[in-house]
Amino acid sequence: MSNTILVINAGSSSIKFQLFALSGGSGLERRLKGQIDGIGVNPHLIAKDSTGAILVDATWTGPDVPAAPEALARVVEFLKEYLGGKLPIAVGHRVVHGGIAFDAPTVVTPEIVAKLETFVSLAPLHQPNNLAPIKSILERLPHITQVACFDTAFHRGHPELADRYAIPEPLYREGVRRYGFHGLSYEYIASRLKSAAPHLANGKVVVAHLGSGASMCALGNGHSIDSSMGFTALDGLPMGTRPGQLDAGIVLYLLQQKGMTAPQIERFLYNDCGLKGLSGLSNDVRVLLGSDDRRARLAIDYFVHRIALMAGSLGAALEGIDGFVFTAGVGENAPAIRSAVVKRLAWLGAELDDQANLRGADVISSKHSRIEVRVIATDEELMIAKHTMECLAAAKMRTTEQQQ
């Protein structure tokens, strides 16, 4: 096997992947990134090296690549050719929900996969797809070490007050609590601040991870103090197709008055709400920003409104805000959203530098702003690669100790 680590982030119809080389000591060098999408419909595999040069660009018919195992086989076939017949020494995976049991990256075993499958109902859009390639590799390449890296793990150090719901103790003990998600992204931002903005790294920072899935996190001294998401990935901010914060009585109304079944409600909340439900047009912020439709404007205004409200809430958890960070697809690439949010934070002393915002500068606040506002591109894959490397090193150390 080659001295490389493969990182996989699997979705419902795509598998994104990156390959990292171990470059001496504890270093990692990104060798390539790619994805295979359109699985089961119009499968398309593309990968580029670190310079952006295309290494593979291939398509197949839907029946040729009907599901995740076949898609993964195509990726492995390409990697073996790229690596001269070798395979990576380990594979790191993003797994959205780790529940109570998993508060750190974990080497995968069949027993662990079985435990992680019990959380499928808590993240039905993500967990089954995250686990599909893990199970495929366990079956086809069981000698390769796999590491599961959890989006919930970074938040597990929350104070109890932040984790609790006002429900009886037995439910809390069995795991009904606020977990928080997008932890790999927030962990990266916290680590990146140490070099990009050392004056903020140990301060009070609110991070907005804004994409198709969206959440916010209060970072205090580099640690998660509180976050917008809770027991499942439905809570907090409105998202592309998910509603965000919702009165639980609405679910009772759908059950009792509308006669919907639990599976119907699940599909509705995960697929038909959020920006898509508000606008009636699209779940894509780019489409909504480019539309003159009143409902599109409503959806954008609502999105910004909830971000501003959550900023105030997380600021209260931190007892102040020193900095605000935008990240993820929308946060990194939508100046209009950033501008609208910062204007809503003027009461906190936030002031935008319009030109810096339009050109996507690292710092987009003005020199007069009391809060430093930054844009930082997230890198969840790098965090997964680092965690995988650390798990490999720990396993090697345990083996050495056992042999002594």
pLDDT tens for each residue of 248-305: 999 999 999 999 999 999 999 999 999 999 999 999 999 999 999 999 999 999 999 9
Alpha-carbon span 203 to 394, nearest angstrom: 31
Answer yes or no: is 373 within a domain: yes
Per-residue confidence (pLDDT) for residue 11, from 0 to 100: 81
The last residue of one of the domains, among 150, 180, 211, is 150
Answer yes or no: is 310 within a domain: yes
Here the tokens at position 72 are 């993964």
Asked if residue 146 lies in contact with residue 90, where contact means CB atoms within 8 angstroms, the answer is yes
| 146 and 208 co-located in one domain | no
The last residue of one of the domains, among 150, 180, 209, is 150
Asked if residue 8 lies in contact with residue 91, where contact means CB atoms within 8 angstroms, the answer is yes
| 86 and 25 co-located in one domain | yes
Answer yes or no: is 241 within a domain: yes
Answer yes or no: is 284 within a domain: yes
| 227 and 131 co-located in one domain | no
| 356 and 260 co-located in one domain | yes
Q: Which domain holds residue 220?
A: 199-380
Q: What percent of the chain has pLDDT over 90?
A: 89
Mean pLDDT, all residues of the chain: 94
Does residue 363 surpass a pLDDT of 80? Answer: yes
Global pTM exceeds 0.95: no
The last residue of one of the domains, among 91, 119, 150, is 150
Give the single-character DSSP code of 233: T
| 104 and 240 co-located in one domain | no
Residues 6+ apart with CB under 8 A from 3: 21, 22, 89
| 203 and 340 co-located in one domain | yes
Per-residue confidence (pLDDT) for residue 403, from 0 to 100: 58
| 73 and 131 co-located in one domain | yes
Q: What percent of the chain has pLDDT over 70?
A: 97
Range from 18-32, 131-145, 369-383 carrying the lowest mean pLDDT = 18-32
Show which residues are catalytic. 151
Alpha-carbon span 326 to 328, nearest angstrom: 7
Per-residue confidence (pLDDT) for residue 166, from 0 to 100: 97
Asked if residue 272 lies in contact with residue 246, where contact means CB atoms within 8 angstroms, the answer is no
| 335 and 216 co-located in one domain | yes
Alpha-carbon span 370 to 349, nearest angstrom: 5
Per-residue confidence (pLDDT) for residue 106, from 0 to 100: 96
Mean pLDDT over 227-250 rounds to 96
Measuring CA to CA, how many Å separate 320 from each of 201, 248, 254, 291, 349? 14, 30, 39, 36, 11
| 126 and 12 co-located in one domain | yes
| 133 and 253 co-located in one domain | no
Answer yes or no: is 165 within a domain: no
Alpha-carbon span 228 to 157, nearest angstrom: 15
Does residue 404 surpass a pLDDT of 70? Answer: no
Structural domain total, the chain: 2
Answer yes or no: is 333 within a domain: yes
Residue 373 belongs to a domain with what CATH number?
Answer: 3.30.420.40
